[in-house]
């Protein structure tokens, strides 16, 4: 089924992890893909090769999205390349986990700028394009941590909770332009982000998950593709793909 044929999708942080799988699955449905990465060019190049094998166009765009001017510039470059942007997936994100007693201003700012500032900046730049098209699908990757909180993640939780609130507001403002804005909230998912967590803590985490395992990045990607391809009347929602860790 190539129901996204002719559409252009940007996926931020698509060199690896969840973003890579989102890019691959959107490509399988026929969309041309702009892969954003920050530092891992060879990983991004590998994703490009995998996508090209499916017969659609894919290009890599380096941008450090922790800076708003660079985030806006990414949108402008993709628009210049294809002349339209139909789907924006804000996936790039980082953690800098510390308890509040140890958290520094730098830890706070790095996580808020990368995770939340980038979402604001890319959305604000893409809106004029999508409003003119009278079409847009924006999907922001949040986390169950933004809903529930998590020990040692005050900065991350604030950034992800902010994404949920931002998503709902933007959905309200953009509905009349046929632009839907939704959030996907993964639970603990097997990527390098989770690999940073020490083994003994990983065991404690699995014990908290009713389904008894971590999520797979492709399982998160399927929800994104559903919203992009079939979510015409879904807006302002958060879809939890979390194995039941937060209900
Ligand atoms: N894994 C989980 O358990 C989990 C759970 C809930 C939510 N999430 C969310 O899902 C999203 C993806 O997470 P993941 O687990 O796939 O992470 P990951 O494996 O660590 O990959 C992070 C991606 O973000 C990119 N990135 C990091 N900083 C960036 C910056 N300043 N500018 C542009 N790109 C940047 C990285 O690019 P480079 O490769 O170039 O560095 C990479 O492509 C994040 O928003 C995360 O918060 C993850």
Q: Which two tokens stand for residue 199?
A: 């083994």
Q: How confident is the model at residue 134 (pLDDT cuts 50, 70, 90)?
A: very high
Cβ atoms 12, 187 nearer than 8 A = no
Q: Of the candidates 18, 122, 133, 21, which has an alpha carbon nearest to the alpha carbon of residue 66?
A: 122
Q: Which of 37, 135, 156, 246 is catalytic?
A: 156
98-121 per-position pLDDT tens digit: 999 999 999 999 999 999 999 999
- The verdict on the CB of residue 191 being under 6 Å from ligand 1 is yes
- The verdict on the CB of residue 48 being under 6 Å from ligand 1 is no
Calculate mean pLDDT across residues 207-234: 97
Please determine, for residue 1, whether its predicted confidence score (pLDDT) is greater than 90: no
Q: Of the candidates 80, 77, 81, which has an alpha carbon nearest to the alpha carbon of residue 62?
A: 77
Residue ranges of domains in the chain = 8-240
In the residue annotation, 177 being an active-site residue is answered as no
- The verdict on the CB of residue 91 being under 6 Å from ligand 1 is yes
158-214 per-position pLDDT tens digit: 999 999 999 999 999 999 999 999 999 999 999 999 998 899 999 999 999 999 999
Atom of ligand 1 nearest to the CA of 70: 32
Q: What pLDDT shows up at residue 187?
A: 98
Q: Of the candidates 122, 123, 136, which has an alpha carbon nearest to the alpha carbon of residue 85?
A: 136
- The verdict on the CB of residue 51 being under 6 Å from ligand 1 is no
Q: What pLDDT shows up at residue 196?
A: 87
Looking at every residue in the chain, the average pLDDT score rounds to 97
Please determine, for residue 2, whether its predicted confidence score (pLDDT) is greater than 70: no
- Fold classification of 8-240 is Rossmann fold (3.40.50)
Please determine, for residue 80, whether its predicted confidence score (pLDDT) is greater than 70: yes
User: Which positions ≥6 away from 204 have C-beta within 8 Å?
Assistant: none
Distance between CA atoms of 181 and 237, rounded to whole angstroms? 8
How far does residue 144's CA lie from ligand 1's centre (Å)?
15
Distance between CA atoms of 74 and 121, rounded to whole angstroms? 10
pTM: 0.98
Calculate mean pLDDT across residues 19-44: 98
Atom of ligand 1 nearest to the CA of 114: 31
Q: Of the candidates 38, 44, 91, which has an alpha carbon nearest to the alpha carbon of residue 67?
A: 38
- The verdict on the CB of residue 193 being under 6 Å from ligand 1 is yes
Q: How confident is the model at residue 228 (pLDDT cuts 50, 70, 90)?
A: very high
Atom of ligand 1 nearest to the CA of 40: 40
């Amino acid at each position: 089924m190539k129901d996204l044929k002719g559409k252009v999708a940007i996926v931020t942080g698509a060199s690896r992890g969840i973003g890579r799988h989102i890019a691959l699955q959107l490509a399988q449905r026929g969309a041309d893909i702009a892969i954003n990465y920050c530092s891992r060019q060879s990983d991004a190049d590998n994703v490009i090769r995998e996508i090209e094998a499916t017969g659609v166009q894919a290009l890599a765009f380096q941008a450090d999205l922790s800076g708003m001017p660079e985030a806006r510039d990414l949108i402008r470059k993709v628009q210049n390349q294809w002349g339209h942007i139909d789907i924006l997936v804000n996936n790039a994100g980082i953690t800098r986990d510390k308890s509040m007693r140890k958290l520094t201003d730098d830890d706070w700012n790095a996580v808020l700028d990368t995770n939340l500032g980038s979402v604001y900046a890319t959305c604000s730049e893409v809106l004029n394009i999508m409003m003119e098209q009278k079409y847009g699908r924006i999907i922001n990757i949040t986390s169950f941590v933004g809903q529930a909180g998590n020990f040692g993640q005050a900065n991350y939780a604030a950034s992800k909770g902010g994404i949920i609130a931002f998503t709902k507001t933007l959905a309200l403002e953009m509905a009349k332009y046929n632009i839907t804005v939704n959030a996907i909230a993964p639970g603990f998912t097997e990527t390098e982000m989770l690999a940073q967590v020490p083994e003994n803590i990983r065991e404690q985490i699995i014990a908290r998950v009713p389904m008894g395992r971590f999520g797979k990045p492709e399982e998160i990607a399927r929800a994104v593709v559903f919203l992009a391809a079939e979510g015409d009347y879904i807006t302002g929602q958060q879809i939890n793909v979390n194995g039941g860790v937060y209900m």
